[in-house]
Structure 1
């Protein structure tokens, strides 16, 4: 019997059992059904909008701003003599990405294009622009820092000096379409401090020297304001410290600018950076809409195991192996049929679930992190491959154990239990990371559509949609498990009696 005939024979077996083919269809239907239910059950914080940056993604755009308009080209230079932070429920501590420095903004609206040079709490001097771009400055233990930001047309240059004489460029960037008049000046921002699987409010205070201005600046006072307080990504200020500790029940700090000699002492909170999932509690990602893949996975585990254990239970495996005594091709044919059927039934369901669920969720007012067409295709194909590999893994385990109950239990423990633990919010982030590195749950990285930016501290856990492995490496982990299971199954199938 040719291998193609063997595959056809296994396909005939599969479709002759209504429960198997029907179960595959039910698994696909669950993916769509859960996407609809998830979208319909979405709730949103309609009172506060999510700022969107020039790159089209959500951003945090909150900081305290001491500014004047700059007409045309010019520069601003200032000393940053100190930067300190206050974290709620702590007596001390440093927020590594607390920021204080100089900024030029294209407009006043949330998500406006900008360029800034800054001192940070733990990452030295940086220059950042348009939220997603970050440039490291020179490493030096000397202080205080003297910063300069210069505009020439659409080009912004950030520089740093320790003595005001020798200047070192940090970066030069271009802000396309920068208007003739911009708002420029001093700023202080401080993102919420990461605390386990959550965050706590924090604020920073910086002491600036006298700003030195060149170019067309008004001869008047400086305006000062908290930017972005009414946006969904603004984390707020911590309670006011009292007696050397923070009174968590007391009034909250506020942003402020106080004249200090010829300069300013400025307190600010918020961040100017890409938004993370934890900053938008009422937001969602594509993986949320595809939760139906989880119950579908359980159903496919059962089908995959039964595809071989049923033959053992009814003593039909002997007939199969008599018709084709070379046993390894039999297992390969079963794996091909099971994998192809699962992939072809799952892929259309996922491709339908994503846009339908997203449309319903947005109609409910939920903010969804944007997904490009290419990413959506990758998610759909990757998740269908995950489900197919899961079924093949179950087939291998079923061949090894030969009993339906023990095979299904083993596969569910190996695949389902790690995923449930990863979704448990009380599980430490380190344990979540470990589970998604070494267990088959790593394959769920194919659903990731959000980016963990290195210049943003966040709650980067799988429960929030962030995986330690990329989509392909994560899927490769599951491939490894499936390959080991099939390899062991092939060896035992050849050695054992039918």
Structure 2
């Protein structure tokens, strides 16, 4: 009996993954049309973005126009810091305690009769009246405040972007709200009470670097009355009307090293007329220890203005080119019959597709990185040269927008590659990719769909990935129309990209399954 050694049998060895990567890279770079396609995708993104930026002009850009300075908060963000402040100096630690017995408001609507002011009684949901400790009276300076709002109960807010919820409900003379703000070094702690005896902690804010001497007192403010109506062809129309809030404070007690004597009054951020008078001034009436404070404006992060991602408006057009290149990267092999040769050289079909995906993702990420890295700073420079104000963001946020844009391009490319593998033909794969990625974004960000439908579209489709470009978050404590038509995405940046990545992963998994089961 003859025994045949296993060593004498021919062995089929799979090429290493590095060899597969090298092979796919060689395929891509030797097809001039694919390389040119990626270059065109990057160029289209850059040129359309810069063209859009050059066409955006601001009325403040002329040599005789002077735009008001935008306050910058402690975190470097643009802020609204406009309110009426009744205050004293506080040296070192101390506290302020008040009893708030009333909160009312007024809103001016369009005049029904010419010359007759149409003013109604209404308290805006984010109108606020309460107590505050602030690093001076400079707009944008650090602060912590404990307040009652129009419809969101007691809140503790600090340094513009932070908001902590307290107890719900409103206020009346028979049901007052006691507020107390205590300073201990850099820590500011807010308490609330229904009777002035039993206190509940709302929250603590740490304001690093707070000076020894600060301002402590009462304040009132109200953002404009925002009305959002549905447009005839979809989308929304937002309008803001003048509004003010008035708080009535009793039993005002300040402890610690205070200046004493008369209270100082400041209408922070008030807009002045050409003759120097204040447009829509706030005010205070003091009588027998009761302070009636009226104010307009808001203390919050600013969300209205140009954002850095506006420079990347050419990305959807660039993605269309990327989708075409990604699909053809696989369908060209099916069309020419080369896929059989590829799969014979490497029996591991899933590994072949994985290698294609890695090479394509790396190349498209690089193309997206170059496009975004060039467009954003150059486009921002053009916008500023045209007199536009761009809302400032941190360097890490700018990096996230650039790198996230590149990641989005890579994920969309992998999704298109997977669809090309599933359909094995270019036309249906390209069409499907455009319907999944580009079409939802167009429908959601133009005045075509109702706001809720647009939001769901940007939650449930791969177009959610565009959220990675959003540089300014939609703050819940800000009165604004955070609709997709206004450039706001319903998901956080990385969550949106994860949705798009999930689609790409599912499509790639389906492609691997079909590639293994079907004949080449």
Return closer, same or farther for 1:122/1:403 CA change in 2, 3 Å cut-off: same
8 Å contact kept, 1:210–1:264: no
Aligned to 1:234: none
Aligned to 1:247: none
Q: 1:382 and 2:404 equivalent?
A: yes
- For each residue in 1:139-186, what CA deviation from the matched residue of structure 2 results, as whole angstroms up to 9, or x when unmatched? 688821233445566554544333344455544545455556544432
1:200 to 240, 249, 261: 240
Return closer, same or farther for 1:162/1:315 CA change in 2, 3 Å cut-off: closer
The count of corresponding residues between Structure 1 and Structure 2 is 473
Secondary structure (helix, strand or coil) at the match of 2:105 reads strand
Return closer, same or farther for 1:138/1:485 CA change in 2, 3 Å cut-off: closer
**CA distance, structure 2, for counterparts of residue 305 and residue 75 of structure 1:** 66
- After TM superposition, give the deviation of residue 466 of structure 1 in Å: 4.2
Return closer, same or farther for 1:410/1:183 CA change in 2, 3 Å cut-off: same
- Structure 2 residue runs of 5 or longer lacking an equivalent are 1-13, 61-65, 110-118, 229-235, 273-277
Aligned to 1:15: 29
Secondary structure (helix, strand or coil) at the match of 2:293 reads strand
2:439 to 417, 435, 440: 417
**CA distance, structure 1, for counterparts of residue 319 and residue 148 of structure 2:** 49
8 Å contact kept, 1:192–1:199: no
- After TM superposition, give the deviation of residue 333 of structure 1 in Å: 3.2
Aligned to 1:96: 125
- After TM superposition, give the deviation of residue 223 of structure 1 in Å: 4.8
What are the within-5 Å matches in structure 2 for residues 394-473 of structure 1? 394-425=416-447, 427-464=449-486, 466-473=488-495
- For each residue in 1:420-479, what CA deviation from the matched residue of structure 2 results, as whole angstroms up to 9, or x when unmatched? 122225644322321221100111222232233444344334455543333333222222
TM-score by length of 1: 0.82
What are the within-5 Å matches in structure 2 for residues 292-441 of structure 1? 292-321=314-343, 324=346, 327-425=349-447, 427-441=449-463
Aligned to 1:245: none
Return closer, same or farther for 1:269/1:343 CA change in 2, 3 Å cut-off: same
Return closer, same or farther for 1:76/1:473 CA change in 2, 3 Å cut-off: closer
What are the within-5 Å matches in structure 2 for residues 163-182 of structure 1? 163-171=195-203, 173=205, 175-178=207-210, 182=214
TM-score by length of 2: 0.79
8 Å contact kept, 1:449–1:465: no
Return closer, same or farther for 1:111/1:334 CA change in 2, 3 Å cut-off: same
- After TM superposition, give the deviation of residue 497 of structure 1 in Å: 4.3
Return closer, same or farther for 1:428/1:205 CA change in 2, 3 Å cut-off: farther
Return closer, same or farther for 1:160/1:34 CA change in 2, 3 Å cut-off: same
Return closer, same or farther for 1:258/1:405 CA change in 2, 3 Å cut-off: same
Aligned to 2:299: 272
Which is higher, the Rg of structure 1 or of structure 2?
Answer: 2
1:147 to 161, 164, 179: 179
Secondary structure (helix, strand or coil) at the match of 1:284 reads coil
- After TM superposition, give the deviation of residue 416 of structure 1 in Å: 0.3
Q: 1:83 and 2:103 equivalent?
A: yes
- Structure 1 residue runs of 5 or longer lacking an equivalent are 232-236, 238-251
**CA distance, structure 1, for counterparts of residue 487 and residue 258 of structure 2:** 47
Q: Which moved more, 1:158-167 or 1:341-350?
A: 158-167
Aligned to 1:56: 76
**CA distance, structure 1, for counterparts of residue 19 and residue 95 of structure 2:** 77
- After TM superposition, give the deviation of residue 218 of structure 1 in Å: 4.8
**CA distance, structure 1, for counterparts of residue 429 and residue 76 of structure 2:** 47
**CA distance, structure 1, for counterparts of residue 86 and residue 381 of structure 2:** 41
